[in-house]
Amino acid sequence: MSNYATPAEAQAYFDNRLHTDPWDDANLSERNASLAMATEIIDRLNYKGSKTSDDQVNQFPRDADTLVPEDVKKASSEIALALLDGVDPDLEFENLSMTSQTYSGIKSNYDRSTSPEHTLAGVPSVTAWRYLKPYIRDPYSVDCYRV
């Protein structure tokens, strides 16, 4: 499996973005690991269309495309940044069921009547989710084919 974004591509993206300290402070090994984890997170989602080639490992490119879309590379970079910043998708999902939290007399209540889509999907960054959302298959649609 190859990552959607290389460390150099992610760095070029982050050069034009604020608040990238976790990426800036990471060494090359940590950057590569976070980009690999980001690729795995992206590849678990259900996308419109089909892989360009039956033997390709990753979900992108798709259909007639031959290159990975820039939005997918940006999403990969955003997920890598969130992971380096300590966001744990599993913990975020578990926290969806928490309705209140008390610490030393300070109480926080959470509205859990709706859950963030990106958290339910296991994507640790809402920015990354916004980049990926246009490619996601509508879970309420059904494709019919005439044979």
Q: Determine the average pLDDT of the residues in 11-29.
A: 97
Task: Name the strand (E) or helix (H) holding 83.
Answer: helix 70-84
Q: How confident is the model at residue 103 (pLDDT cuts 50, 70, 90)?
A: confident
Split at pLDDT 50, 70, 90, the class of 112 is low
Q: What's the Cα-to-Cα distance from 47 to each of 20, 22, 93, 94, 137, rounded to whole Å?
A: 28, 29, 21, 25, 5
